[in-house]
Structure 1
Amino acid sequence: MGIIKAAKLFYDYVSKNEQDEVENVIHAVAGVDLDVEAGQFIAILGHNGSGKSTLAKQINALLVPTGGTLWVKDMDTKDPANVWKIRQSAGMVFQNPDNQIIASLVDEDVGFGPENIGVPTKDIWRRVNQSLKSVGMLEYSQHSPNKLSGGQKQRVAIAGVMAMEPECIVLDEPTAMLDPNGRKEVIETILELNREKKVTVILITHYMDEVVHADKVYVMDDGEIVLAGTPREVFTQVEDLKRLRLDVPQVTELAYELKKAGMDLPDGVLTIDELTEALESYRDR
């Protein structure tokens, strides 16, 4: 079993009337199967309302399945006795870093999590320094978070999770509120944590270019996983993605349109370098 595994996972949002009678049931997650190996970089895509954020919150045991089972390191998230250990194993970063930053200094904020789980003081500051260094924010340790840019705040939020030393980090649209530079900073940080620290990453996003380096991509629609594969396998299916109200990376779209216009180019071009190489090969024929 992988570090994260879901079997026939369901989560329902139920609305009731004033008489406490069920009026409506929305299957936000509907029969999802998932198996994430330790050290993988997994991306989950989907339009608003597809169920991807609801799935993310179940991994951190913020939501408990209404059907099926979700295991984090072999621990069933439905068991209340497992919640504390699950949240130490799978840390969570949300869209708005201001919702996770609570202290007046960066280093104090990053140290808050380890202190809460009982880490000895001398080890807390070692973790704080290591985590801030990992996300490129060590020089800002004595700064006020309020003075940081959006991208810097999000990196501090990631450092705060990393200081708790989780084996997995779940990021629920962490760049949604950032400008392009902030997005780039955060994605580079995530990639480095995955590659250098071997942290399992589950990235929920609707920015297609953020997932081209993922090991596997899952696409959700109406609570179900409707596409799965490597980024190249998924982004080859341009028309299917468009029917799901999703885009593809800009360079993939350009290559796709050029191919439709008659140029013999490969499917699933993901980067500018790949497109440049394909165009040069086409020109030299």
Structure 2
Amino acid sequence: MKSSKISTVMGKMIDTQKLVFEYIRRDEEGNVEGITRAVDGVDLKVEQGQFIAILGHNGSGKSTLAKHFNALLYPTEGEVYVDSYNTEDDDHLWDIRQEAGMVFQNPDNQIIGQVVEEDVGFGPENMGIPTEEIWERVDEALKAVRMDKYRKASPNHLSGGQKQRVSIAGVIAMHPKCIIMDEPTAMLDPNGRREVIRAARALNQVEGITIILITHYMEEVVDADKVFVMDKGSVVMEGTPREIFAQVDKLKELRLGVPQVTLLAHELRQAGVPLPDAILTRKELVEALKKCR
């Protein structure tokens, strides 16, 4: 068994070291038909309290990578540490999953209660938390995602964005240090996407919870502390949003876009308008255009 703690990763919320993960395909008789390397030698470090975004086209390996962050998958090669626990240490599996909660694409797959407050309290109840503290956690979690007025509602009557916020509240109620959001807005309309991203930012900025956001919506990562871009299972770009989105042509090669306002500024710059690189917001574009007069 591997050691649960290692001094070289103390202080890191997530630390992957030469992480490799391979999917093995088998025929009906159990014989190996082929092997697909979905994650290929990834070294990625996330500090406590950061807001991290991971981008990549479909099949780039970003969701497979995310599932290693709370031991839903185990490395084929390399190691993954969550708050300095090795994910392959079975003695600390519960610690890992308590400290690094996961929110998935489809909230219907995560909501199991018939009433919102019961659903949010399900995780703490399974943890053996005393009843009085469970309800305290439910209260604080629902308030954190601005869903407290729906606590007595049936999840079936909520919008997609509201359901996803309930899913997030269920994770918050377990008091994690980190929440991994695996394309949490992929099935939502624009209003629902805004609700969820607003909740994620508030949890990071107000509660200090580390957020790891897996997404293909470029506008969602503008306020991230750091962005990792994946392709063919590897991290091929990393930097601040401004550093990443300054490389419009490289992102196009990777079959990725940029925020609409960034693309507009890029096209204006190519047309001869003297604008700075990587404008990220409409306000920045307006201010830059004023200076061009």
User: TM-score w.r.t. structure 1 length?
Assistant: 0.98
CA shift at 1:80, angstroms?
A: 1.7
C-alpha separation between the residues in 1 aligned to 2:14 and 2:240?
18
Aligned to 2:281: 271
Equivalent residue for 2:125? 115
Q: How does 1:231-250 map to 2 (within 5 A)?
A: 231-250=241-260
Q: Which residue of 1 aligns with 2:62?
A: 52
Q: For residues 17 and 146 of structure 1, what CA distance do their matches in structure 2 show?
A: 40
Structure 2 counterpart of 1:164, which letter? Answer: M
SS of the counterpart of 1:225?
Answer: strand
1:202 aligns with 2:212: yes
Task: Name 2:292's counterpart in structure 1.
Answer: 282
User: What is residue 100 of structure 1 aligned with on the other side?
Assistant: 110
Provide the secondary structure at the position in 2 that maps to 1:9. Answer: strand
After superposition, what is the alpha-carbon deviation per residue over 1:44-102, rounded to whole angstroms, capped at 9, x for unaligned?
00000000000111101000111100000111111222211100000000000000100
Counterparts in 2 of 1:1-285, with a 5 A limit?
1=9, 2-283=12-293
Deviation at 1:24, TM superposition (A): 1.2
AA of the residue aligned to 1:113: G
* Matched letter for residue 200 of structure 1: T
Offset of residue 125 of structure 1: 0.1
**1:189 counterpart SS class:** helix
How many residue pairs match? The answer is 283
Task: Report the CA distance between 1:17 and its aligned residue.
Answer: 2.9
Q: What CA deviation, in whole Å up to 9, does each residue of 1:181-238 have, x standing for no partner?
A: 0000000000000000000000000000000000000000000000000000000000
| RMSD between superposed Cα atoms in Å | 0.7
Distance in 1 (alpha carbons) for counterparts of 2:29 and 2:42: 32
Give % identity: 62
1:21 Cα offset (Å): 3.1
Query: Aligned equivalents of 2:128 and 2:15: distance in 1?
Result: 28
TM-score (norm 2): 0.95
SS of residue matched to 2:67: helix
Deviation at 1:18, TM superposition (A): 4.1
Q: Distance in 2 between matches of 1:45 and 1:178?
A: 18
What is the letter of the counterpart of residue 157 of structure 1?
S
Q: CA deviation at 1:23?
A: 2.1
